[in-house]
């Protein structure tokens, strides 16, 4: 059995409102029949981080986890990040941006309504028009519809998402025929043949770290499933799970908008830790080379805690709906040790993750 050390502080769902230093770093010795990868470290001790290295003096006291270490894509990623996906309606992102200003407008209206008697006694005038107590309820009648506007917009966007998902279920697409060659941190597409009615727009190569397995996190922190979960992790979730964060890790909140009941989720869940290569316009097809991120990343490697995942994403249109075709890539890693100072993060919400 070969042993190596994994250290990880994976971002929780709402990581932007959490101080990373308040969450403990998970440190374990991983025992596996397979050789560990070339050591790498992404992030730093004060923030979110992922590290895989050899054993050092003093590591013997760390918890020991037996885990498969492989370059083959794990089954839960093949179920949730392989095939055709519907892009969430763009109205979702607009609606989210409107939430903060509409809440401020409503609060100001309620405040004015509360202090209306004081204002009326001081006879405040606006251009020869006196505001009286009866005007403040009218103000609420105006501002409340503005407040609910984002909710209405999101409901409409969800309706369109559901229609697009149902249309795909009724009219599924075959896998595209793509001849590609995997290089050193890049992928060359020699030819591409899409199903009828599908228009290719662009493609990119990206790499990220999937959510760690829940059972391994609890074992590393010596926590029981029935006890209070550690910081950044939710309580046990229902048996019906549709997204990888719900199935294996630290998922709380709404990661994807309005998925419908199907054999697999049809809206691609974002990788919270993700670095993207340049988006290449394909103009309907043709050959091209897709480069990975500017900083050199490790190759594909999977274990129960650290799953470093590469994938090809092709952006297309079908009957006016935007879609993505996602294909996991087995990328060879460099021989030299990798150290990236900052862990690249992406929004946990699919509808606001930028293309």
Ranges of each domain in the chain: 70-89+174-352, 92-166
Q: Give the separation between CA 305 and CA 208, rounded to whole angstroms.
A: 13
107: Cβ contacts below 8 Å, ≥ 6 apart: none
DSSP category for residue 246: H
The secondary structure element, H or E, covering residue 254 is none
Q: Give the chain's count of helices (H) and strands (E).
A: 6, 18
pTM equals 0.84
pLDDT of residue 259: 72
Regions of the chain where pLDDT drops below 50: 124-129, 239-253
């Amino acid at each position: 059995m070969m042993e190596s050390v994994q250290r990880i502080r994976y971002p929780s769902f709402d990581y932007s409102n959490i101080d990373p230093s308040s969450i403990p770093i998970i440190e374990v010795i991983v025992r596996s029949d397979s050789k560990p990868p070339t050591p790498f470290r992404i992030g730093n001790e004060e923030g979110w981080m992922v590290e895989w290295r050899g054993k050092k003096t003093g590591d013997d006291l760390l918890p020991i986890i037996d885990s498969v270490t492989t370059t083959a894509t794990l089954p839960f990623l093949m179920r949730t990040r392989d095939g055709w996906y519907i892009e969430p309606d763009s109205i979702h992102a607009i609606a989210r941006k409107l939430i903060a200003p509409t809440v401020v407008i409503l609060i100001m209206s309620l405040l004015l309504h509360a202090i209306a008697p004081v204002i009326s006694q001081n006879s405040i005038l606006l251009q020869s028009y006196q505001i009286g107590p009866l005007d403040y309820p009218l103000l609420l009648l105006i501002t409340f519809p503005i407040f609910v506007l984002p909710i209405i917009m999101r409901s409409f966007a969800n309706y369109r998402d559901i229609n697009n998902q149902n249309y795909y279920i009724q009219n599924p697409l075959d896998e595209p025929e793509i001849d590609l060659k995997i290089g050193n941190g890049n992928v060359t597409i020699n030819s591409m043949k899409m199903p009828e009615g599908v228009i290719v727009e662009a493609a990119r190569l990206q790499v990220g770290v999937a959510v760690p397995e829940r059972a391994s996190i609890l074992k590393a922190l010596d926590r029981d499933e029935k006890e209070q979960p550690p910081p950044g992790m939710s309580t046990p979730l229902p048996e019906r799970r549709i997204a990888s964060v719900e199935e294996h890790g630290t998922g709380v909140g709404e990661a994807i908008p309005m998925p419908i009941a199907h054999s697999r989720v049809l809206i691609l869940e974002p990788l919270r830790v993700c670095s993207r290569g340049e988006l290449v316009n394909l103009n309907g097809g043709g050959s091209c080379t897709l480069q990975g991120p500017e900083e050199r990343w490790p190759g594909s490697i999977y274990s129960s805690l650290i799953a470093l995942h590469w994938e090809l994403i092709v952006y297309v249109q079908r009957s006016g709906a935007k879609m993505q075709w996602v294909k996991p890539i087995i990328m060879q890693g460099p021989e030299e040790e990798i150290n990236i100072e900052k862990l690249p993060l992406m929004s946990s919400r699919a509808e606001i993750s930028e293309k």
